[in-house]
Amino acid sequence: MSAPDVVCGIVTGELVTHEVYRDQELIAFLDHRPLFKGHVLVCPAAHVETLAQLPTGLVAPLFTLVQRISTAVVEGLGAEGSFTAINTVVSQSVPHLHVHVVPRSKGDGLRGFFWPRVRYAEGEAAEYASRLRAALGAPELG
């Protein structure tokens, strides 16, 4: 089965995985190449490629399940916390929306984000915020 069909293959039962949760709308299963043991992928059961394409009615159920699983990795696995992330297009190895919930503990070796940090030039942060507000259709501040 090709990479684009991996999550759909898991949903249909064509591919076997270690499921953590399943209902009519959502599925959660262990990542087959985890950052740490207990790394879970939470996905809509229906094929949705990116967060922007997620139907509004699935936003709350998806993130409620992500919230529950982030609690479960602490309570069930003894993690001190969790790291939650979504890649959309760039670094998205499978074109099916999936939220990573990774158990974390101090000293586990994961160091912040995996990419370099940058700084805004003088006045640049305000310009970026303004551009984002415009894209959101939000009113200008001030």
Written as one string, the DSSP assignment of 89-134 is: STT-SSSS--EEEEEE-TTSS--S-SS----PPTTHHHHHHHHHHH
The residue type at 140 = E
The neighbouring-strand residues paired with 29 are 19, 41
Residue 72 and residue 92: Cα distance in Å, rounded? Answer: 25
Which residue among 18, 32, 47, 98 is the active-site one? 98
100 is catalytic: no
> Do residues 79 and 73 lie in contact, with contact meaning Cβ atoms separated by under 8 Å?
yes
Helix, strand, coil tally for the chain in percent (to 5) = 35, 20, 50
The one-character DSSP state at 58 is H
Q: Which residues are catalytic?
A: 98
